[in-house]
């Protein structure tokens, strides 16, 4: 399979390594300093594009792929306020789009565990829930896309919470789910959900040891997307 890498930072290089090990070919590498030199014909040569860039350029990259008939797999976070715009353009161009806030198989199982626990804990108002995520100091968005997905999973299943909010000094309303974001060293990603009462607490946690799990999932998604149109996510890939 021929792959275009839109974003060639740490994740792009990790994806490249796994893709090459699996026998795929990288036909285009787009990074911050060479985008203006990259031509439509180069992108169109790819069977699939894998996009891990930055929030400011992600939507433009999606549009570029849709316009050239190349399905795109993206893990860039921080752009979701433009989701409807991207969906409309994908449909207009009959494009293929695969998005995940996290491509780790383990994290996606964790998403479902989080939803299940929230549904159970909604019956017990003595327990208050909060989310804490920790990532490396290079991560631009705060909180992480994974934390936002976890928060939405709780909101969809727990009647006691109506919205989430990033933790700050001010007091929060009872129906607001607190999300704390920490940036430390080179941490690949830690996400913790805690339910705490006056007498005990319940905690579920996912810790990534490296970027390899994310890169493996992104390559699996690219293999899944070859020749496809429409919008897909990790639940489609994993048949959950």
135, 158, 191, 206: which is the annotated catalytic residue?
Answer: 135
Residue 169: is its pLDDT beyond 60? no
pLDDT bin (cut points 50, 70, 90) of residue 170 is: low
**pLDDT higher than 60, residue 61:** yes
pLDDT above 90 as % of the chain: 80
Query: What was the pLDDT predicted at 137?
Result: 92
Residue 226 scores a pLDDT above 90: yes
pLDDT tens for residues 66-95?
A: 999 999 999 998 899 999 999 999 999 999
What residue has token string 């752009």?
Answer: 79
- Would you say 20 and 222 are in contact if contact means Cβ atoms under 8 Å apart? no
φ/ψ of residue 224, rounded to 5:
-65, -35
139 is catalytic: yes
Q: What is the mean pLDDT of residues 15-42?
A: 93
Share of residues in the chain with pLDDT > 70 (%): 99
DSSP 154-218: HHTT-TT-SEEEE--SS---TTEEEEEEEE-TT---EEEEEEE-SS-EEEEEEE-SSSHHHHHHH
Q: Is the pLDDT of residue 162 over 70?
A: yes
What's the pLDDT band for 101 if we cut at 50, 70, 90? confident
- Counted residue by residue, the chain has a size of 240
Reported confidence tier of residue 58, pLDDT bands at 50, 70, 90 = very high
Active site residue 138: no
| CA nearest to 77, candidates 133, 15, 140, 130 | 140
pTM score of the predicted model: 0.77
Contacts made by residues 230-237, CB under 8 angstroms, sequence distance 24+: 230/96, 230/97, 231/87, 231/90, 231/97, 231/98, 231/99, 232/96, 232/97, 232/98, 233/98, 233/99, 233/100, 234/100, 234/102, 234/103, 234/108, 235/108, 237/98
The arithmetic mean of pLDDT across residues 39-43, rounded, is: 94
Token pair for residue 192?
């913790």
Q: So what's the pLDDT on residue 78?
A: 84
pLDDT value for 18: 95
Considering the chain, what is the average pLDDT of its residues?
A: 93
Give pLDDT, residue 113: 97
Check whether 46 has a pLDDT greater than 90: yes
Per the residue annotation, which of 13, 17, 82, 139 is the catalytic one? 139
Contact (CB, 8 A) for 10 and 211 = yes
For the cut 70, the answer to whether the pLDDT of residue 142 exceeds it is yes
Mean pLDDT of 158-168: 93
């Amino acid at each position: 399979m021929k792959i275009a890498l839109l974003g060639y930072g740490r994740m792009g290089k990790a994806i490249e390594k796994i893709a090459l090990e699996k026998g795929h070919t990288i036909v285009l590498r787009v990074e911050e300093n060479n985008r203006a030199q990259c031509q439509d014909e180069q992108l169109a040569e790819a069977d699939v594009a894998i996009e891990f860039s930055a929030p400011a350029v992600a939507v433009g990259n999606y549009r570029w792929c849709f316009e050239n008939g190349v399905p795109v797999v993206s893990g860039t976070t921080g752009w979701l306020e433009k989701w409807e715009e991207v969906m409309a353009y994908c449909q207009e161009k009959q494009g293929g789009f695969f998005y995940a806030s996290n491509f780790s198989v383990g994290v996606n199982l964790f998403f479902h565990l989080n939803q299940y626990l929230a549904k159970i804990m909604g019956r017990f108002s003595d327990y208050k829930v909060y989310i804490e995520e920790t990532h490396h100091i290079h991560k631009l968005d705060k909180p992480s896309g994974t934390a936002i997905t976890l928060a939405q999973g709780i909101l969809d299943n727990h009647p006691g919470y109506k919205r989430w909010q990033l933790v700050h000094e001010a007091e929060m309303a009872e129906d607001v789910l607190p999300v704390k974001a920490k940036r430390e060293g080179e941490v690949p990603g830690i996400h913790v959900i805690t339910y705490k009462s006056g007498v005990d607490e319940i905690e579920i946690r996912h810790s990534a040891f490296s970027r390899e799990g994310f890169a493996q999932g992104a390559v699996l998604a690219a293999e899944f997307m070859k020749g496809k149109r429409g919008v897909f996510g990790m639940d489609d890939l994993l048949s959950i």
